[in-house]
Amino acid sequence: MSLNYNLTNVSDKANREKSEAIIFMCMAVGIPDITEKNYEEFYSRVTLSNLIYDIPTVFTIEDVASHIGLTTNVSKRNRVSFLAGLYRGWTDKHYREWRGPKGKINATKRLLEEV
């Protein structure tokens, strides 16, 4: 399925260089449209996701606010579903790193990494 978006209702003040990043983050955070009511939630989800996966955020909350009116065909996820997905992604990534060759968690390696 392709990612479709519509920028016609977005302010002329919007930084179009940041538009692509914001559009793709709609998929990552499960928010299809940026509105006056949800732009802060959108930015909070982006920030949390980037913190967990250690990715730099390339736009500010002002950039998101300037994109109010953006619509996409992204599937909407409620907050609980979004947070559960972050948790699953983080634990899957780290459990793979902690497991030994027989699929058991190597507690010594895990403890040493946490120190």
- Render pLDDT for 55-86 as a digit per residue (tens, 0 to 9): 898 999 999 999 999 999 999 999 999 999 99
d(CA 17, CA 12): 13
Dihedral sign from CA coordinates of 41, 45, 51, 56:
negative
Which has the higher per-residue pLDDT, 28 or 93? 28
d(CA 9, CA 74): 17
Q: Per-residue pLDDT averaged across 104-110, rounded?
A: 56
Which has the higher per-residue pLDDT, 6 or 104? 6
Q: What type of residue sits at position 15?
A: N
Which has the higher per-residue pLDDT, 103 or 41? 41
* pLDDT tens digits, one per residue of 7-36: 999 987 788 889 999 999 999 999 999 999
pLDDT value of residue 91? 83
Tell me how far the alpha carbon of residue 85 is from its chain's centroid: 10
pLDDT-based confidence at residue 89 (cuts at 50, 70, 90): confident
Q: Tell whether pTM > 0.85.
A: no
Other C-beta atoms within 10 Å of 48: how many? 14
At 7, list the tokens: 């920028």
